[in-house]
Chain A
Amino acid sequence: MTATAPLQFSLAAQAEIKRLLTHYPPERSKSALLPILHIAQAEFGGWISSEVQDLVAETLGIKPIEVYEVSSFYTMYNLKLVGKHVLEICRTGPCMLRGSDELTEQLERITGAKVGGTSPDGNFTLKEVECLAACGFAPVVQVREKYYEQLNTPEAVDAMLDELRNLVHRPILSWEENGLQNSLQTAASV
C-alpha cells in the first residue's frame, strides 16, 4: 500500500495566501479564513473535504473546529463532492417572478440531475440558492465566478450548458487571471 502524498496548496495558491495575510493585523490572521476557503475550494475540485479543511486550519494556525464551524455556516462552500460544474440557481422572489421555478425544472430535465444532486455524467450539480443580487436580469444561475443572466429562453439555457460542457475550470486566484467575461446588461437603465 502506498501512502498518499499529504495535501498541499499549489505554489500559486501559497503565494496568494501569503498576500492575503498582509491584509490583516498579524495577530488577526484568522480574518483570512473565508478567502482562503475560497482558494481551497477552487484548488481542490470545487469542494472542501475535511482533509482540506484541516490543511486550511494548519495554514492559519487555528484549530480545525474553527474552520468547520465557519465552512458549515456559509452556503458557498461545498462540503460534499460535486460535479464538474455547480449550477447555483437563484430561487428568491424576484427570480421566481421571472421564471426561476420553470428554469429549475428545465435544468433538471436536461441534465438529469435533481436539485441537490449531480447528473449521471458527473457534469452538473444543481443547487438552489437565495438572492444573487442580480434581480434585474432574472432568472439567474451562478457557476463559479460567472453569472448567467436572463435565462428565460430555451436558447439561453442551451447556450449556457454548451459553454459549460466545453469549459475546464482552472482555479482563479487573482484579478490578473480572471479570464471569465461577465457582461452586465444595460437597458434604459445605467
Chain B
Amino acid sequence: MGRKLLTEHINVEGIDTFDVYRKHGGYRSVEKAIKTMTPDEVVEEVKKSGLRGRGGAGFPTGMKWSFLAKPEGVPRYLVCNADESEPGTFKDRQLMTKLPHLLIEGMITSSYALGARTSYIYIRGELLYVLRILEKAVAEAYAAGFLGKNILGSGYDLDLHIHPGAGAYICGEETALLESLEGKRGNPRNKPPFPAVSGLYARPTVVNNVESIAAVPVIVNEGGNEYAKIGIGKSTGTKLISACGHVKNPGIYEIEMGVPVEEFIYSDEYCGGIWKGRELKAVVAGGSSVPILPKDLILKTAAGEPRLMTYESLSDGGFVTGTMLGSGGFIAMDETTCIVKNTWNFSRFYHHESCGQCSPCREGTGWLEKVLHRLEHGHGQMHDIDLIVNVAKQIEGNTICPLGEAAAWPVTAAVRHFRDEFEWHVTHPHEATRPGAVYHGGLVLA
C-alpha cells in the first residue's frame, strides 16, 4: 500500500468543513510557511521536492515559480487551473469536491511563496456545484483568519476568489484561461511573453494545476527532500490517476510514482483488471491527447522492461513505442473496442474544441474528423489512412498552443499501432459497419 499524501483523509466524515480538516492537520503548512519561512524558502522546498506540473505537461513547479518576474510595486497573481477537461481526467473534480480545504491551503501557502495578494481558482463552468463547495470553504477560511487581511498576524494579506469558465476545453491552456478570466473568448496568446512576465491583466502570473497546488502543503510540512524520496528518479511524490474506460473499478487512485502499469491495471488495490472478464486491447495512459498504446507496449517497454507509472517509463521509446503520463487520465479499452471509432471520437472532440485562431488546427481538426468518420463508416479509401497522418503532421508544431499536438498525436499513434484495423475498415466496409463487429489482432469479433 503506497503512501497517500493528498488523499489520506479524503473519506473522513465532514473533511470538507474547516473544523474537521483543521483537526486532521489542515492549514499547518500556512502556519509553518508564514511564521517560520521566507517566501523564497518555500519556493526552495518546492524546487527540492521535484514536483512536476500535474496538469499534463510535467514541467517542474518550483522552476516555474522561480521564473516569476517580481518588479517593485506591481501586483502579481497566482491562478489555479481547475479547468479539468482532458478526456479521461477527473481527479481535480474529486479532490475539490471532497477536500476543498486542501486546495485552499495550497493556494494560501503558494500565494505567500510567490508574493501574490490576490489569487484565483479558475474552475470549469460545468462544475458550478463544485464552485459552491469551494466558495463555502473559502468563506470558512476567511472566518478563521487564514484569508483576508493580516493572516495569522503576519502582515500578509491575501484574497482568494473562485471564477467559473463556461464550457471550453481550450481554457485549460494557461493563456486561454487568462483571457477567459479577463472576460474574453478563450483564445490562447502568442508566447513570449510568458505569463510569468505578462499574465493576468498583463501582470506577472503563475498558473498551476489543482493537483500541483494541493501537493504544496505536504511539501512544506515534510520538506522537499522528504517528498522527493517517494517515487523514482525525476518522477517524485504521488500522482492521482483517473482510471476509466473498461477497467473493473474505475475511480481516482493516488499512487506512488513507480507502480508498475500491470499492477495498476490488474491489482485489486487499483483497477481490479478489465471488466466482464475481457482482454485488455489498448490504453490511453495520460488523457486523450497522449499516444494510444496496444496492450503489449503499455505493459512492457519495447526493450521488454516492465512499464512503470512514471513520466520517464511511460515515455520510454518516444512516440514510436512509448506514450506520456500526461494528466494521469488512464483510459483502458477492452478487446471489443473499435480503435477507428475511438480515434474518430477523439478527433471530433478536438475539432469541436479548437478555438479557430490557427488555420492548421481549425481546418486540420475538421479534416481529421471528416476522414476518420468516413473510414469508420465504411466509405474510406486506402489512401485516407496516409491522408490523416499527413494532416496530423501538418497541424503538429504549426499552432499557437498545444491543442494542435493534442489533436494530432492520437491519430498518428492509432495508425502507427493499429494500421491493420484501419485497413480492415477499408477492405471490409460491410463487416466493419455491422453492429458489434470489431477487428482485434487479426481476428474479427462479432
Contacts and interface: CB of A to CB of B under 8 A. Distances in A.
Contacts of B159: 23
B71 to A, nearest CB: 17
B184 A70 contact: yes
A31 B164 CA distance: 11
Contacts of A180: 129
A176 B133 CA distance: 10
Nearest to A27: B201
Given A70-B184, A135-B90, A190-B251, 13 more contacts: A38-B128, A75-B166, A92-B87, A93-B284, A97-B342, A131-B87, A133-B85, A135-B87, A142-B126, A188-B249, A188-B270, A190-B7, A190-B98
B250 A136 contact: yes
Given A133-B84, A145-B129, A190-B253, A23 B163 contact: yes
Given A74-B125, A187-B251, A97 B337 contact: yes
Nearest to B8: A190
A145 B201 contact: no
B136 interface: yes
Contacts of A137: 90, 250
B10 A96 contact: no
Nearest to A131: B87
Contacts of B166: 34, 37-38, 74-77
B135 interface: yes
Contacts of B89: 133, 135
B422 interface: no
Interface residues of B, number: 75
Contacts, number: 192
A73 B268 CA distance: 43
A154 to B, nearest CB: 19
Interface in A33-80: 33-35, 37-38, 60, 66, 69-70, 73-77
B167 A94 contact: no
B93 A131 contact: no
Interface in A169-190: 172, 174-176, 178, 180, 182, 184-190
B126 A97 contact: no
Nearest to B169: A130
A34 B251 contact: no
Interface in B231-289: 242-246, 249-254, 268-270, 272, 284, 288
A133 B90 CA distance: 5
A146 interface: yes
